[in-house]
Amino acid sequence: MIDTIPRSRRLFRGRAAPARRPRALRYAHVIGWGMEVPSQVLSNSDLEAIVETNDEWITTRTGIKERRIAAQRETTTSLATRAAQKALDLADVLPSAIDLIIVATATPEHIFPSTASLVQDYLGATNAGAFDLSAACSGFVYGVDMAVSKIQTGTVNTALVIGAETLSRVVDWTDRGTCILFGDGAGAVVLQGSDTPGGVLGSVLRSDGSGWDMLTLPTANSRETYLQDGAHQQGRIYMDGRGVFRFATRVIGESIRDALTQAGLTPDDLTLVIPHQANQRIIDHAAKALKIPEDRVYSNVARYGNTSAASIPIALAEAVEEERIKPGDIIALVGFGGGLSWAGDGHRVDCRALPPVVLAHLGPPPGGLRLRRSAPPADPQVAAADAALADDVDSHGARLPAPPPRADQQVARREGRGVAGNGGVLSQCFTSPPLGANAPRFPLSAAAKRYPQMPPIPQLLPPRCA
Ligand code: UT7
């Protein structure tokens, strides 16, 4: 006899089948972004006193002029949290509305707990799941892909994806081939589900583990034989620069093309590419590989160096601030690095999916659009918790003086809108002055004092400098 029970229900004979999740396709839009970098600047000329190098070599081979170095009390978590707060403030999203937090990092404070769980706690994102993602410099694009997949299936509505690093703590300061490259910082985006077509249109994730030993950061669990070969050290970055360079130039164009093909687009449709900021020569190669003008490939590598998983979201945040991204634009992100791993995606920026504060950043919205506003949480307990956080109660319960509200928060308050995030809390916990030309530079003589987490400077210096 033919079984007439549908296949999907056969397993549930005798008991009720679980409710089916509605399968309406959602679109995942980036609706907020933020960045945080330490205020300490390490210039190329500062490096001349640490390793045998010079500004001319670093500039011509990498395009890097300076990088940021975390102060003692700054951590991957604190940078990540500050970047996330800015993204939430801009998106006008309350911490309690976040369903998922992904932190892409190669420099977590712990293997567990995850940095993402610490960020979840600092933000007061009481409804969010949280995990770290390890894909080196490709990690941010991998993280966006994970969040987009969850949003598209409807299991998550709002996700926070963060790239955050304190690479200065794992750089070998005696290796001039790597220590000149890396810097610290964090960037974050808020992704949200919408019925408005657009947002992330296609993405590709790739890996070639056969090249694992070209770029490594060994942990306490690394094989003894690997750590005893004289070239590698636990907790220090090792890189075969030329090998990684060849790999990066091979994959940078290919992964964007593949992601755009998925979305039925071509490189000619691109307004802006935001590549991982590893080296200006690799960034320039992206334009050649895609046959697009160089000014359509964003670069800020000169100011921050290579911040690994943080470089793309930092560049994205700066590109928007510099008005390089407008509603209607097609942009692509591409990451590459340790694994070896690489990933690319394509986005269409659609103003119908963006909150008002974001639109104010992007330019005046086209007339007649009805814009979304985030509603305060329905659950009174959650609303009270958010209010308490916004009133500057830090996650450990200490009451802190309220900092002056930022200009956009003042506008939001005047308009009677809820202000997302707990903006003042972390500015009290992890004070760092704003970016700008006047960012303080530290004298080299004070370097040992400023880098207590690193070996003392005399150990870092080659014998002739010590
Ligand atoms: O984020 C993950 C992805 N990472 C990357 O994409 C990095 C990819 N690689 C690179 O960006 C480049 O390979 C580097 C910037 C790391 C190196 O540039 P390069 O043009 O490949 O230089 P090289 O390693 O071939 O070195 C050329 C010369 C060597 O001297 P000899 O052997 O020719 O006498 C190096 O010892 O430059 C020397 N050198 C330096 N000289 C002054 C290496 N580092 C330095 C330095 N200052 N800092």
83-93 pLDDT, tens digit each: 999 999 999 99
Contact 242 CB / ligand 1 (< 6 Å): yes
Looking at the CA of residue 215, tell me the nearest atom of ligand 1. Answer: 2
Does residue 370 belong to any structural domain of this protein? no
**Same domain as 417, residue 309:** no
Q: Of 336, 364, 392, which residue sits at a domain end?
A: 364
pLDDT at 239 over 80: yes
Q: How much distance in Å is there from the Cα of 242 to the middle of ligand 1?
A: 7
Order of strands across the sheet with 27-36? Answer: 27-36, 184-194, 158-166, 100-104, 129-133
- Considering only CA atoms, which residue is closest to atom 5 of ligand 1? 278
pLDDT at 276 over 50: yes
Residue 228 confidence class, pLDDT cut points 50, 70, 90: confident
**Same domain as 301, residue 245:** yes
Overall domain count for the chain: 2
- Considering only CA atoms, which residue is closest to atom 4 of ligand 1? 278
**Same domain as 290, residue 407:** no
pLDDT at 418 over 60: no
CATH number (domain holding residue 136) = 3.40.47.10
Does residue 378 belong to any structural domain of this protein? no
So what's the pLDDT on residue 225? 82
Q: Quick one: which of 182, 180, 181 has its CA closest to 168?
A: 182
pLDDT at 224 over 90: no
Radius of gyration from C-alpha coordinates of the chain: 23
Tokens (6 digits) for 68: 């940021």
Contact 206 CB / ligand 1 (< 6 Å): no
So what's the pLDDT on residue 78? 94
Contact 283 CB / ligand 1 (< 6 Å): no
Q: Quick one: which of 129, 145, 181, 189 has its CA closest to 164?
A: 189
**Same domain as 423, residue 354:** no
Q: How much distance in Å is there from the Cα of 241 to the middle of ligand 1?
A: 6
* Structural domain that includes position 404: 383-432
Residue 452 confidence class, pLDDT cut points 50, 70, 90: very low
**Same domain as 255, residue 113:** yes
Contact 249 CB / ligand 1 (< 6 Å): no
Tokens (6 digits) for 72: 């003692």
pTM of the predicted model as reported, rounded to 2 decimal places: 0.78
- CB under 8 Å to 229, separation ≥6 — which residues? none
Does residue 418 belong to any structural domain of this protein? yes
Contact 180 CB / ligand 1 (< 6 Å): yes
Q: How much distance in Å is there from the Cα of 428 to the middle of ligand 1?
A: 40
Does residue 402 belong to any structural domain of this protein? yes
Instruction: Please report which residue ranges of 263-391 form alpha helices under DSSP H.
Output: 280-290, 301-304, 311-321, 356-362, 380-390
CA–CA separation, 136 vs 105, rounded Å? 7
Tokens (6 digits) for 234: 């636990």
CA–CA separation, 240 vs 171, rounded Å? 14
**Same domain as 196, residue 163:** yes
So what's the pLDDT on residue 380? 64
**Same domain as 302, residue 406:** no
Q: Which residues are catalytic?
A: 137, 276, 306
CA–CA separation, 416 vs 406, rounded Å? 15
CA–CA separation, 459 vs 226, rounded Å? 23
Does residue 42 belong to any structural domain of this protein? yes
**Same domain as 422, residue 348:** no
**Same domain as 241, residue 351:** yes
Contact 245 CB / ligand 1 (< 6 Å): yes
CA dihedral 252, 253, 255, 259 (to 10 degrees): 140
**Same domain as 291, residue 206:** yes
Does residue 427 belong to any structural domain of this protein? yes
**Same domain as 422, residue 355:** no
Does residue 200 belong to any structural domain of this protein? yes
Contact 311 CB / ligand 1 (< 6 Å): no
Residue type, 265: L
Residue 413 confidence class, pLDDT cut points 50, 70, 90: very low
Q: Which of 51, 60, 172, 242 to mutate for ligand 1's pocket (most ligand atoms within 8 Å of CB)?
A: 242
Does residue 375 belong to any structural domain of this protein? no
Give 112's DSSP letter. Answer: S
